[in-house]
Amino acid sequence: MLRRFLEEVDTVYVEDEVDPDYGFTEYLKKTDSPVVFRKVKGYPNLNAVGNLCGSRRIVSKALKVPYESIQEAWADALENPKPYEYVDSAEFTENIYEKPDIVKYLPFPIFYRGLRRRYATGTIVLARDPETGRMNASFHRLMLLEKNRLAIRIVPRDLYRFYILNRESNRDTKVAVVSGVHPTICMAAATSYPDLNELQIARVFHEFKCVNVDGLDVPAEAEIVMVGRILKDEEADEGPFVDLTETIDAVRRQPILEVEKLYMRNKPIWHLILPGGLEHKHLMGVPQEARMLKIIRNTVPTVKRVYLTVGGCCWLHAVVAIRKMHEGDGKNAGLAALAAHPSLKMAVVVDDDIDVENPNDVEWALATRLQPDKGVVVISGVRGSSLDPSQGKTGLTSKWIIDATIPLEAGVNSFRRII
């Protein structure tokens, strides 16, 4: 569970009283380690945690796999999910509030000055596919409207499909929102993969059980659970919000989530994700790397590593390391990377002697192994990421592949570093 995990890693404990408005941000920017806030102004019976998945080092410890094996382990789990078992009760039922005025119990911070909307960010939404009954877990930010009403940002993936199907049948979408779970469950909820019950991916690495709450599978270890409905016929303006690129996302009309019950453990831990911070980036990027690795391997079986760079927001730029066997492998790997992750804007392909996480190493490969007129490919007029502010209003962008692998005809010896 989360509490035990925080005791096992290098957690920073903040004993000073912290104001939810702007106060969390200052601490979370200073470190990539988990940070526990023991005194939250206005909420004496609650702790908060941020940077729970703030680095690959922490992810490695959570999964209990070597740092260099994260991608392989996660990719294997996608193919071999593990069913979970059920229990009859959970500690989060220690306190139950009907149609709560949520902000009395949970802080919805303002993270950045100049923005006035209050958000919950470390919130995982659990829902069931109305056609197949499959459970789905995914992160969604929640903007406080009033009392028990929240605007929920839904991108066009599984939960959005459930919502549309239910709306077409004149039904609301029943959901449970959980916060304060083990990092493996967070990683799983951040994973996008077809026909997946994300909780079963988490179960590969972390032993937990679920409890049935209003027909939904909810991890019994959760600190906080909100049960409610995404309303079929009500929307609100959602935003502004600082997104992954550290720029302000557009204000959109989004559905309203109405909370019917709030469940909380005694002295619960409320998970905060700093918008645009390292945890936000790693939760988006690390699961996507494993998915990309699987797909690129179908085209170039000798791919070794995929890394979504921090400078590229762990979303828009990737470095791919391959063991080059044939001319053209570099460009093929780049094309496969762009296909595997449609939001990707740049794919740099290097040989497997290059450390993909070291920007100096990658730049060295660009300096010594790349001839731009031969290795750079630009693809114009394609769909990109809605998070990329440079693409403007058209939704179209340019993407590029940089093949910085050694030309086989030249022989490798003259391209190897001596020191």
Q: Where in the sequence numbering do the catalytic residues fall?
A: 243
The structure tokens listed for 357 are 């996480």
Q: Which residues pair with 136 in a beta bridge?
A: 127
If one counts every other C-beta atom within 10 angstroms of the C-beta of residue 255, the result is 24
Contacts of 206 (CB under 8 A, 6+ apart): 62, 182, 184, 185
The structure tokens listed for 256 are 């309203």
* CA proximity to 123, closest of 72, 94, 159, 91: 159
DSSP classification of residue 406: P
CA pair distance 178, 170, nearest whole angstrom: 26
DSSP classification of residue 50: E
Q: Which residues of 99-112 are buried (b: 16+ CB within 10 A; e: fewer)?
A: ebebbebbbbbbbb
Alpha helices, H only, 190-246: 198-205
- Amino acid 391 reads Q
Report CA-CA distances (Å) from 40 to 23, 181, 280: 9, 19, 21
If one counts every other C-beta atom within 10 angstroms of the C-beta of residue 412, the result is 12
DSSP classification of residue 43: B
Contact 135, 185 (CB under 8 A): no
DSSP classification of residue 334: H
Helices and strands in the chain: count of H runs, count of E runs: 11, 23
338: phi then psi, degrees, rounded to nearest 5? -65, -35
CA pair distance 91, 93, nearest whole angstrom: 5
What is the sign, positive or negative, of the torsion defined by CA atoms of 181, 1, 215, 84? Answer: positive
CA pair distance 62, 231, nearest whole angstrom: 35
CA pair distance 332, 179, nearest whole angstrom: 41
